C-alpha cells in the first residue's frame, strides 16, 4: 500500500485494466484515456449503444434458454410419435448450418466494408448475407413441411411440440433479421454512413451473429444429441 503511494503516479498500474498491455501501458496509470476509465471521460455513444443492445441480446438468449430447457426435458416424451432420429434429415441440417455460418461471415465482412466506408461493398456483403439467410429460412420451412406431411407435426407429441417451438422461434428471429437487413440496406443507400446509421449497422451485426450462436446450441442439443437418443 505504502509502496504505491511512494511511487510516482505514472508508474502505478491501473488495477482495473484487464489483460493486454499491462506492462507497457502501466506507465499511463490513472491517466488511461480509455473512456469510462481513469480520465477518459464517459464512454462514447456507440459503446453505450452496443452495451444496451448486448443486454437485449442476452435477455433474448435467456428467453431461448427457457425454450431449450423445455425441449431438453421433453425430448424423451415422444409418446406414440416418431423419435428424432426417424425424422431428422442430417444432410439438410448440415447444409443449413453451413449456410448460416457463411451468412455470419459475410455479415462480418459487411462490417469491415462499413469501417472502410465503402458503399458498394457494404451493400454487396449485406445482400449476400440476406440471400444466405433467405436460403436458410426456405430450407427450414421445407424441413418443417416435410415433417408435417409425414404426420410429425407439433400436435403429435410433447417432444415435437417443443421441437417446433424452439426451432420455429429461431426461424422467426432469422426472418425478422432479414426484414431488418433489408431496411438497413435501404437506409445505408439513402442516408449514407451517418453516425446513427453506423450504430444501427453495429446493432444489426450483433443481432445476426447472436442468431448464429443460438443455432450452434440448437443443432447440437436438438439435432445431434436428439438424434442420438
Partner 1 sequence: MSDEGWHDGDVGPGFMEAGHRSVGEGIRGYLIGLILASALTVASFYTLHTPLIWQPAIPVALIVLAVAQIGVHLVFFLHITTAPDNTNNVLALAFGVLIIALLIGGSLWIMANLNQNMVPMHQMMQMQR
Single residue of 12, 70, 124, 165 touching partner 1 by CB under 8 A: 70
Of residues 198-217, those binding partner 1 (CB under 8 A): 202-203, 205-206, 209-210, 212-213, 216-217
According to the binding rule CB under 8 A, does residue 65 interact with partner 1?
yes
- Closest approach, Cβ 110 to partner 1, in A, equals 10
Size of the site for partner 1 (CB under 8 A): 67
Alpha-carbon distance values, 52 to 37, 70, 177, 184, 193 (Å): 18, 28, 18, 19, 21
According to the binding rule CB under 8 A, does residue 16 interact with partner 1?
yes
Q: Would you give the binding string for partner 1 spanning residues 74-113, x where CB under 8 A is met?
A: ----------------x---x--xx--xx-xx--xx-xxx
Q: Would you give the binding string for partner 1 spanning residues 165-194, x where CB under 8 A is met?
A: ------------------------------
- Nearer to partner 1 by Cβ, of 35 and 175: the residue is 35
- Closest approach, Cβ 90 to partner 1, in A, equals 8
Q: Report the alpha-carbon distance of residue 156 to residue 151 in Å, rounded.
A: 8
According to the binding rule CB under 8 A, does residue 10 interact with partner 1?
no
Q: Which stretch binds partner 1 (CB under 8 A): 41-49, 147-155, 168-176, 182-190?
A: 41-49
DSSP readout, the chain? -HHHHHS-GGGS--TT--STTHHHHGGGGGG--STTSTTS-SPPHHHHHHHHHHHHHHHHHHHHHHHHHHHHHHTT--TTS--HHHH--HHHHHHHHHHHHHHHHHHHHHHHHHHTT-HHHHHHHHHHHHHHHHHHHHHHHHHHHHHHHTT--TTS-HHHHHHHHHHHHHHHHHHHHHHHHHHHHHHHHHH-S-HHHHHHHHHHHHHHHHHHHHHHHHIIIIIIIHHH-
According to the binding rule CB under 8 A, does residue 54 interact with partner 1?
yes
Asked if residue 206 lies in contact with residue 54, where contact means CB atoms within 8 angstroms, the answer is yes
- In the complex, which residues of this chain contact partner 1 (CB under 8 A)? 16-21, 25, 28, 31-37, 40, 43-44, 46-47, 49-51, 54-55, 58, 61-62, 65-66, 68-70, 72-73, 90, 94, 97-98, 101-102, 104-105, 108-109, 111-113, 115-116, 202-203, 205-206, 209-210, 212-213, 216-217, 219-221, 224-225, 227-228
Amino acid at each position: 500500500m505504502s509502496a504505491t503511494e511512494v511511487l510516482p503516479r505514472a508508474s502505478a498500474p491501473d488495477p482495473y485494466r484487464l489483460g493486454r498491455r499491462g506492462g507497457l501501458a502501466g506507465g499511463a496509470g490513472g491517466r488511461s484515456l480509455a473512456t469510462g476509465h481513469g480520465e477518459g471521460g464517459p464512454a462514447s455513444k456507440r459503446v453505450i449503444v452496443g452495451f444496451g443492445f448486448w443486454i437485449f441480446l442476452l435477455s433474448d438468449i435467456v428467453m431461448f434458454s427457457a425454450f431449450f430447457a423445455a425441449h431438453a426435458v421433453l425430448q424423451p416424451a415422444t409418446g406414440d410419435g416418431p423419435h428424432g432420429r426417424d425424422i431428422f434429415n442430417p444432410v439438410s441440417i448440415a447444409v443449413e448450418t453451413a449456410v448460416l455460418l457463411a451468412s455470419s461471415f459475410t455479415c462480418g465482412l459487411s462490417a469491415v466494408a462499413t469501417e472502410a466506408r465503402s458503399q458498394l461493398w457494404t451493400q454487396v456483403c449485406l445482400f449476400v448475407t440476406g440471400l444466405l439467410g433467405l436460403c436458410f429460412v426456405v430450407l427450414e420451412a421445407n424441413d418443417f413441411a416435410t415433417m408435417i406431411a409425414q404426420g410429425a407435426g407439433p400436435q403429435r407429441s410433447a417432444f415435437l411440440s417443443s421441437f417446433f417451438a424452439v426451432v420455429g422461434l429461431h426461424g422467426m428471429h432469422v426472418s425478422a433479421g432479414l426484414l431488418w437487413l433489408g431496411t438497413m440496406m435501404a437506409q445505408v443507400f439513402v442516408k449514407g454512413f451517418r453516425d446513427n446509421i453506423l450504430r444501427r449497422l453495429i446493432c444489426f451485426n450483433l443481432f445476426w451473429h447472436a442468431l448464429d450462436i443460438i443455432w450452434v446450441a440448437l443443432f447440437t442439443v436438438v439435432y445431434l444429441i436428439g438424434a442420438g437418443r
